[in-house]
Structure 1
Amino acid sequence: MSEGESSIPLPEVSAPELSVDTMTSITEELSSDAYEGRAPGTAGEEKTIKLISERFAAAGLEPGNGDSWYQDVPLVSIEAEKVTPLAITGGSEDMSFAYGPEMVVTSYQEQDSIEIADSEMVFVGYGINAPERGWNDYDGVDVKGKTVVILVNDPDFGTESLEGEFGGRAMTYYGRWTYKYEEAARQGAAAALIIHDTAPAAYGWNVVESSWSGPQFYAQTANGGSDQTKANGWIQKSVAEKIFASAGQDLAEQMAAAREKGFKAVPLNTKASVSFDNAIGKMDSKNVIGLLKGKTRPDEYVVYTAHWDHLGRCKPAPDGDDICNGAVDNATGTAALVALAEAHAKAGAADRSIIFLAVTAEESGLLGSEYYAANPIYPLSQTVGGVNMDAFGMAGPAKNVVVVGKGKSQLDRYLEGALTVDGRVAEAEPTPEKGFYYRSDHFSFAKLGVPMIYFEGGEDLIEGGREAGEALSKDYTENRYHGPKDEYDPNWNWDGVMGDLKVYYTVARMLAMTEDWPNWNEGDEFREARDKSRAGN
């Protein structure tokens, strides 16, 4: 038992049969071309939220926001148009790089047009300012009005252990692109360009190009994003190598130097120019919320989360298909919310209330879940904990489940209890360097203190073992993830998914039937927020 963990026994819960028909029919429907990739603010959203709310009602839930199924999430849509090539001058040769295959760029600022003109370029390593770790890549350099060039991930990437300034091989939030743009803005940079590198990014350039083309969604702000950088983007590693060579620098040498404490930013003595127009729109997208009210402690809540959105239309595949259908990511998770709602409602009310939350704009930076967490319908201090679901793999039954963030909270005990029925084991994610903990909706709740668990079907397959599981995972990431070919396949094997779904049911049902209040483990980064939240309750 972990230090501080409750001695309250786990409730005995038996998972019922869950509906594979619900899973297949909703996944197929939501990922059909008729939904056009489920981008926020489109006709695809209207169809999506209507389907979810209707299925929640049919399952026996009640509307989760008073008499409404919906929570408005104010968003702004900004799409870069007429993007000029990225021009680099001042080095040994003038260069130009094309939008799409060599670089992508967008803006967080609500301005009709953006121009970066002859902006001095500075390499700032990993772009991290972390006083608590004694690390500041911006120390001694003024980047106001300049273009900063940044490495993806954090300085410990590539180490084998989980020991180091930034958690060793496990990515910290400092390694995420969202943080890097945030810090660049705080430093006053005019533009921020992240160097794409497949291994530390955890996805190929195809994912960057498809994800960053088309409308980009951001939370509406009172100042219209005026405190943000004018332009944010990515450049191919091969592009960065050319820029550095023109500046008389070696990219590989500078990447190695950036991993060392005390790294000093390097002026590249080159200038960047790029311009584009912005197509701007404002909207209220929707979170969909259903509630199964508890019978004895209805003011205590357990939450399920899954995001309903995807990328909409994106870079076409070679066959011309330009709809990013998002079948696995995350029509499957949305279908799971409905299947679980059906099962819990059929079993009858638990002691605690259960929230079923389908959030918008996850693909744009967890915006829907972040909005709910900042504006909760049900108090976070009264939210016991929850389970996040994001993309069910179709590899078949496995001997394990993979926990993203294993060892962080006392919810691990509930998962391990749920797995004892069929003898499976919970394992830590094999690739913590990919930063999955910061890439899905549980993070929005976690950083405000609510214990959340996020796990997926494992790769140690009953048929084929780890080799087969890893091959299937790699195939999905390289050929379908965030692309037009993440489509429904009527030949999918749902056996593994349905086994995983029983675990999702059992974990949440146990939480809803106990008097326990699980916490983050002692020393975890989110423990203080939870303790303060509960103390003020």
Structure 2
Amino acid sequence: MRRMFLVMAMAATTAASAQKIADPKPFANTITADDLKKHLYIVAGPGMEGRETATEGQRKAAAYIESQFKSLGLLPGNKDNFQAGFPIYQDTLLNAAVEVNGRRFELNTDFAVNLNMAHSSTIYCGEVVFSGYGISDSTRNDYKNINAQGKIVLILQGSPPSSSGGNTAGNRSRFSPFTAMEAAQKNGAAAILMVQNNFPRRSAPIKGSPYLNGFRKTVFPNTYYISEEVAKAIMGADYDGAKEAMKNGNPQPKTYEADVKLEFKKNMNELTSTNVIGFLEGSDKKDEFVFITAHYDHLGKRGDSVIFYGADDDGSGTVSVLELAEAFVKAKAAGKGPRRSIVFMAVSGEEKGLWGSEYYSDHPLFPLSKTTVDLNIDMIGRSDPKRKVGDSTNYVYVVGDDKLSSDLRPISEAMNKKYTKLELDYKYNAPKDPERIYFRSDHYNFARKGVPIIFYFNGTHNDYHKPTDTPDKINYNLMAKRAQLIFYTAWEMANRNEMLKRDIPLTE
């Protein structure tokens, strides 16, 4: 029995040793310019319609990525599903109306409503409370000696003058509609009329911008932005005096009798987008995870003819994830698969505000505490014309490797020195980076949860977020080399004995 245990122990040691010294180069070499190009002409082709989140083009792209994961033999990352959906909301305006004493005012000519902020309601009210600047805090109370409970509040946009002659009181910032809304709500207002001087306006679209969270923590009273004509219909001759008093910091609150009807109706439409997730199970450390991510959404199309192809942003990252997945699958088929499990995730909603990764990090399918790293790829197919140092045909911006884990940079640099010999440019790690690149792609939603990250980036260029970001402009050889660096880095992180340390605090 003891001899049997000894033989088994020696076999396990030999297997672990063989795995440790396995050469990743043959598998990295399967990441080729030709394969990347083949995928990218599909992902960033006209058939994908620019891949805008929650559109048919995005769904086509998701289906293509899923088909590639399936063909490689990856397991679905969301139980038995390769796609993990998340809700997106979009409002459609049905009707908006403002009437004062029977006089009807026109939308966009004399009033406007923030479609996303407002909720469906109809209010008939016989009194309107004028509350000056609408301030109610420790420095000033424009609601003093008036009862706004259950009434419509009318506010003139502006800030009290400071004692030094400026346009602010003390350290008060410029007028904020949200501060005024909070004050009105605190004082019990049923609705808010906020006078603005930029009427008439261009007609607003009847569909609002999509948003991620339909369940707001605070529901404010509806705010109607109104012209001076609406205000005069309520306040009469008092309006001009109140406007002048605003300049002196001394508008007098007053209640006006006026029959006011405020109506707003909308449909809230619930849409769906998905992250596409493929899973490759590891061996002895299969309950720990390496994530490799890229966003596959882009800006869609304008009208029937203008397509934002998004070849570099982020078709380049998307197809690199496909090639990295293939390389790791081939390694596993050769008996040299990773010790840790690898999760390949193509994310949507990035261009809308990192939505897909935000939803994932708030609803993880794999424990974030066991996720050793996220290697995020967002634009690695082009060169930065603003980069004036080094070799523009042999570099990559490495972002975030100085944050969260002291293990990140040594591994990254060692793999690069041994295999790819790219120039690693740390420009965007600068604490005061004016572009705030570190915060602008999906890795950040892993980082904010404490997961170490590296973000690979080539910088922006003249085709960034334009219809001219097309597959013919990609440097496929450079892109393959960058993707191979990511493969080698992931290989090391998937096979090392320990998870990456989390020894550097997250800072904004």
TM-score (norm 2): 0.62
Q: Cα RMSD over matched residues?
A: 4.7
Question: Structure 2: 5+ residue runs without aligned partners?
Answer: 1-19, 98-107, 144-152, 159-175, 186-191, 195-204, 225-242, 252-262, 385-391
Which of 392, 400, 406 is residue 405 of structure 1 equivalent to?
A: 400
SS at match of 2:91: strand
SS at match of 1:288: strand
SS at match of 1:490: helix
- Specify the alignment match of 1:498 in structure 2: 480
SS at match of 2:501: coil
SS at match of 1:433: coil
SS at match of 2:425: strand
- Specify the alignment match of 1:29 in structure 2: 42
Letter in 1 for 2:287: D
Cα displacement string for residues 366-422 of structure 1 (whole angstroms, at most 9, x for unaligned residues) = 111111111111111111111011122423963432223342133222221222133
**CA distance, structure 1, for counterparts of residue 156 and residue 297 of structure 2:** 32
Letter in 1 for 2:327: A
- Specify the alignment match of 1:77 in structure 2: 90
SS at match of 2:62: helix
Cα displacement string for residues 15-40 of structure 1 (whole angstroms, at most 9, x for unaligned residues) = 33303333223222222232222223
- Specify the alignment match of 1:414 in structure 2: 411
- Specify the alignment match of 2:164 in structure 1: none
- Specify the alignment match of 1:293 in structure 2: 281
Cα 1:141–1:391, aligned 2, differ >3 Å: closer, same or farther? farther
Does residue 335 of structure 1 match 2:319?
A: yes
Cα 1:303–1:276, aligned 2, differ >3 Å: closer, same or farther? farther
Cα 1:413–1:10, aligned 2, differ >3 Å: closer, same or farther? farther
Contact 2:394–2:422 (CA under 8 A) maintained in structure 1: yes
Letter in 2 for 1:53: E
- Specify the alignment match of 1:346 in structure 2: 330
**CA distance, structure 1, for counterparts of residue 30 and residue 321 of structure 2:** 15
Contact 2:448–2:506 (CA under 8 A) maintained in structure 1: no
| Bigger Cα displacement from structure 2, 15-24 vs 212-221 | 212-221
Does residue 365 of structure 1 match 2:353?
A: yes
Cα displacement string for residues 281-322 of structure 1 (whole angstroms, at most 9, x for unaligned residues) = 2023211110010011111000011112122234x6xxx843
Letter in 1 for 2:313: D
**CA distance, structure 2, for counterparts of residue 191 and residue 355 of structure 1:** 51
**CA distance, structure 2, for counterparts of residue 336 and residue 181 of structure 1:** 44
Contact 1:392–1:456 (CA under 8 A) maintained in structure 2: yes
Cα 1:496–1:362, aligned 2, differ >3 Å: closer, same or farther? same
Cα 1:188–1:28, aligned 2, differ >3 Å: closer, same or farther? farther
Does residue 515 of structure 1 match 2:507?
A: no
Aligned runs of 1:55-70 on 2, under 5 Å? 55-70=68-83
**CA distance, structure 2, for counterparts of residue 412 and residue 489 of structure 1:** 31
SS at match of 2:40: helix
Cα 1:342–1:474, aligned 2, differ >3 Å: closer, same or farther? closer
- Specify the alignment match of 2:210 in structure 1: 217
- Specify the alignment match of 1:17 in structure 2: 30
Residue 474 of structure 1: how far off its partner (Å): 4.1
Residue 54 of structure 1: how far off its partner (Å): 0.5
Contact 2:380–2:479 (CA under 8 A) maintained in structure 1: yes
Which of 82, 103, 109 is residue 117 of structure 2 equivalent to?
A: 109
Contact 1:289–1:355 (CA under 8 A) maintained in structure 2: yes
Residue 345 of structure 1: how far off its partner (Å): 0.6
| Bigger Cα displacement from structure 2, 344-353 vs 277-286 | 277-286
- Specify the alignment match of 1:325 in structure 2: 309
Which of 370, 395, 403 is residue 382 of structure 1 equivalent to?
A: 370
Q: Which runs of 4+ in 1 moved over 4 A?
A: 9-13, 79-84, 104-107, 112-115, 117-122, 138-149, 180-192, 212-215, 228-232, 275-279
Q: Percent identity?
A: 26
- Specify the alignment match of 1:429 in structure 2: 427
Residue 447 of structure 1: how far off its partner (Å): 0.8
**CA distance, structure 2, for counterparts of residue 401 and residue 191 of structure 1:** 52
- Specify the alignment match of 2:448 in structure 1: 447
SS at match of 2:463: helix
Contact 2:380–2:456 (CA under 8 A) maintained in structure 1: no
**CA distance, structure 2, for counterparts of residue 387 and residue 457 of structure 1:** 15
**CA distance, structure 1, for counterparts of residue 95 and residue 504 of structure 2:** 52
**CA distance, structure 2, for counterparts of residue 475 and residue 440 of structure 1:** 19
**CA distance, structure 1, for counterparts of residue 379 and residue 132 of structure 2:** 39
Residue 187 of structure 1: how far off its partner (Å): 8.0
- Specify the alignment match of 2:7 in structure 1: none
Cα 1:63–1:402, aligned 2, differ >3 Å: closer, same or farther? same
Cα 1:281–1:418, aligned 2, differ >3 Å: closer, same or farther? same
Does residue 306 of structure 1 match 2:298?
A: no
**CA distance, structure 1, for counterparts of residue 482 and residue 342 of structure 2:** 19
SS at match of 1:111: coil
Residue 121 of structure 1: how far off its partner (Å): 11
Does residue 475 of structure 1 match 2:462?
A: yes
Residue 346 of structure 1: how far off its partner (Å): 0.8
Letter in 2 for 1:415: S
Cα 1:485–1:401, aligned 2, differ >3 Å: closer, same or farther? closer
Cα 1:407–1:321, aligned 2, differ >3 Å: closer, same or farther? same
**CA distance, structure 2, for counterparts of residue 503 and residue 139 of structure 1:** 56
SS at match of 2:462: helix
Contact 1:401–1:457 (CA under 8 A) maintained in structure 2: yes
Does residue 42 of structure 1 match 2:72?
A: no
SS at match of 2:293: strand
Letter in 2 for 1:322: V
Letter in 2 for 1:47: K
Cα 1:489–1:362, aligned 2, differ >3 Å: closer, same or farther? closer
Contact 1:108–1:231 (CA under 8 A) maintained in structure 2: no
SS at match of 1:331: helix
SS at match of 2:117: coil
Residue 108 of structure 1: how far off its partner (Å): 3.6
Cα 1:497–1:215, aligned 2, differ >3 Å: closer, same or farther? farther
Contact 1:143–1:187 (CA under 8 A) maintained in structure 2: no
Q: When the two structures are aligned, how many residues end up with a matched partner?
A: 381
Residue 360 of structure 1: how far off its partner (Å): 1.7
Residue 522 of structure 1: how far off its partner (Å): 3.2
Letter in 1 for 2:306: D
SS at match of 2:351: coil
Contact 2:420–2:484 (CA under 8 A) maintained in structure 1: no
**CA distance, structure 2, for counterparts of residue 352 and residue 484 of structure 1:** 40
**CA distance, structure 2, for counterparts of residue 419 and residue 332 of structure 1:** 20
Does residue 485 of structure 1 match 2:468?
A: yes
Cα 1:16–1:118, aligned 2, differ >3 Å: closer, same or farther? farther
Residue 507 of structure 1: how far off its partner (Å): 1.3
Letter in 1 for 2:35: T
- Specify the alignment match of 1:227 in structure 2: 219
